[in-house]
Amino acid sequence: MKPPARLATELCGLTLSTPVIAASGTFAYGVEMDGLVEWPWIGAVVVKGLSREPMNGNPPPRVWEAASGMMNSIGLQNIGVRSFVETKLPGLRRLGVPVIANVFGFAVEDYQEVVRVLEDAGGVAAYELNVSCPNTKHGGMFFSADPALLADLLGQVLPLIRSGRPAIVKLSPNVAAIEPVAKAAEASGAQAISLVNTFVSLAIDARTRRPRLGAGFGGLSGPAIKPIALRLVYQAARAVRIPVIGLGGIATGEDAAEFMIAGASAVEVGTASFWDPASVGRIARELERFLMEEGVAAARDLVATLDMGEQKK
């Protein structure tokens, strides 16, 4: 059964059946989930991050279950953009769901090459540029930590997108203030921003006095980060005019509604898919039920309706 029209969402020129999207990192490349999920109820799939060359990732252990969340240090393991185009993209095209390619790199040239390869391939609806990576040519400073560095990256990558595919910039929460970075993305030509990525964190085994993860630090995700993610989405949505995609601890339809009320035009589901691959479709169904119960005609009517009352002052 197809989702009702009240869930249909327009996002930077894309028509999505629902505003609930499978986030990058916990949904593999999408094709692996065929037979486990209800594709009509999934607005889009953001594939696992793609790099210029294949990457093996970090040493194990790579995942640790934290209180109300999960820590990971996968190390951006992936098959590389060329192998993705050859082995994964053909199957994705047959699923009938918009495909968003998550792109990352450690230098401007990395992003450029991944985009060049994808521009020559059919079946990609949009790009999500993950700018949470350290720029190895600038002493390891993260692209998302400096508005000027982010603007320089986008200024050299976005002109290579000649297909008309929209570019979404995925922002890190590990910054002093989200507004300057969000504004830099908008001013540089991004059609949307998505946030948040994981929070840098550390888990320790007190008995061995060693980190729980092989690489030491990891990224915290899941329900534990939701209140902080909501605050950042609210602040970013008030700072820019382009659409905001919210993510961070979404596990229910009401969670999705909260992000939309905070200002998100759509949401991405990550960690919930890790323990239940069917979570994205379930959350979309729960959101539809929430709209009916609350007498809301369409999902888009939730966007940016938060009443902060006297707290605005």
Report domain extents, the chain: 5-59+74-202+218-312
Distance (Å) of CA 126 to CA 32, 135, 167: 20, 23, 6
Mean pLDDT of 292-307: 98
**Tell me: the pLDDT tens digits for 141-183?**
688 889 999 999 999 999 999 999 999 999 999 999 999 999 9
> Do the beta carbons of residue 131 and residue 102 sit within 8 Å?
no
Mean pLDDT of 55-82: 95
Cα 154 from Cα 160, distance rounded (Å)? 10
Q: Which residue blocks in the chain are alpha helix, DSSP H? A: 81-87, 89-93, 108-119, 147-157, 178-187, 226-239, 253-262, 271-275, 279-294
For 205, other C-beta atoms within 10 Å of its C-beta total 10
Distance (Å) of CA 9 to CA 139, 265, 292: 41, 8, 17
Mean pLDDT of 234-247: 98
- How much is the mean pLDDT over the chain? 95
133 is annotated as an active-site residue: yes
Identify the CA nearest to 109 among candidates 166, 51, 162. Answer: 51
Residue 157: partners with Cβ closer than 8 Å, 6 or more residues away? 108, 111, 112, 115, 129, 167
**Tell me: the pLDDT tens digits for 250-280?**
999 999 999 999 999 999 999 999 989 999 9
The 3-class secondary structure across 129-143, one letter per residue, is EECCCEEHHHCCEEH
- Which one of the listed residues 114, 133, 232, 302 is annotated catalytic? 133
Model pTM score? 0.96
Q: What integer pLDDT is reported at residue 313 of this predicted model? A: 46
Tokens found for residue 204: 């320790």
Q: What integer pLDDT is reported at residue 140 of this predicted model? A: 58
**Tell me: the pLDDT tens digits for 125-137?**
999 999 987 666 6
pLDDT exceeds 90 at position 213 = yes
| CA 88 to chain CA mean position, Å | 19
pLDDT exceeds 70 at position 138 = no
Mean pLDDT of 281-306: 98
Name the amino acid, one letter, at 213.
Answer: L
pLDDT exceeds 60 at position 114 = yes
Q: What integer pLDDT is reported at residue 249 of this predicted model? A: 97
pLDDT exceeds 80 at position 12 = yes
Q: What integer pLDDT is reported at residue 113 of this predicted model? A: 98
Strand-pair partners of 134: 142
CATH 3.65.10.10 fits domain 5-59+74-202+218-312: no
pLDDT exceeds 80 at position 187 = yes
Q: What integer pLDDT is reported at residue 142 of this predicted model? A: 83
Identify the CA nearest to 274 among candidates 44, 26, 63. Answer: 26
> Do the beta carbons of residue 112 and residue 59 sit within 8 Å?
no
3-state helix, strand, coil in the chain (%, to 5): 40, 20, 40
Phi/psi at 251 (5° precision): -130, -10
Cα 126 from Cα 241, distance rounded (Å)? 19
Question: Cα angle at 46 between 45 and 52, to 5 degrees?
Answer: 140
pLDDT exceeds 70 at position 117 = yes
